Amino acid sequence: MIRWLARPDQFPPPDTALREPNGLLAAGGGLSPQWLLAAYRQGIFPWYMPGEPVLWWSPDPRMVLFPQELHVGRSLAKIMRNRAYTIRFDTAFREVILACAAPRPDAMGTWISSEVLEGYCALHQQGYAHSIETWIDGELAGGLYGVALGGVFYGESMFARRPDASKMAFAYLVPWLQQQGFALIDCQMRTHHLARFGGREIPRNEFVERLTQLVAKPRTPGLWHHEWVNCGSST
């Protein structure tokens, strides 16, 4: 059995999550900033389909990326050197989430409901949720969004309207995060895509132990005002 939550201070310990389905911990509550911040501080994230109660998860093992272990393949590195594009932070947060929620050929549906959209937009307004955007020819071509707490960035979802646009945003973001003192990127569940970037699984207890130290790192919330322009190259 899992716990039904009435308040954001009622999350059970992550190690009490079910083994099957892997990581299901609790249900109920909402997606206000208060609920989301309480969950993320403990390594818990929401995932549920529209029409269901909010479901909260903490899987074991946990997919993470340590910024110093980022691997950018030669093909992507060449594209990033030669293509003209701009990387921007926090200039189109709502548009990024809406793009992540759009139907995809390889998916049956989206979990990003209007409740999710408004919850994370409220978190963005408080300076905790951020969008990383790739712009090509003046149009939003791809990107991702996530949540930043202390020394941890929690990746949520990505999208691409142009080939490699989301990969470019991620490949740029990781070294920038390292420069800003972030030590851990939470990828939640294993995917081949993230493994190619250097992501790997660690035991949940190790993840929670690292998290406890890193989320306590002082960091003032606020919008990330950053832009980087690559003019491209003919070589």
pLDDT(199) > 70: yes
Specify whether 47 is located in the same domain as 80.
no
Specify whether 31 is located in the same domain as 87.
no
State the residue range of the domain holding 26.
Answer: 3-59
Specify whether 33 is located in the same domain as 112.
no
CATH number at residue 220: 3.40.630.70
What would the mean pLDDT of 91-108 be, rounded to a whole number?
84
Specify whether 153 is located in the same domain as 68.
yes
Specify whether 99 is located in the same domain as 187.
yes
The structural domain count of the chain equals 2
Entry pTM: 0.94
Specify whether 172 is located in the same domain as 205.
yes
pLDDT at 98: 96
Q: 127: pLDDT confidence band, cut at 50, 70 and 90?
A: very high
Specify whether 119 is located in the same domain as 50.
no
108 to 104, 111, 116, 140: CA distances (angstroms) = 8, 10, 18, 24
Q: Is 189 exposed, middle or buried (0-12, 13-18, 19+ CB in 10 A)?
A: middle
Specify whether 131 is located in the same domain as 223.
yes
User: Angle between the 33-40 and 114-125 helix axes, to the nearest 10 degrees?
Assistant: 80
User: Pick from 141, 142, 90: which is nearest to 120 by CA?
Assistant: 90
pLDDT at 194: 92
Domain annotation covers residue 198 = yes
pLDDT at 152: 98
Specify whether 129 is located in the same domain as 38.
no
What would the mean pLDDT of 65-92 be, rounded to a whole number?
97
Domain annotation covers residue 235 = no
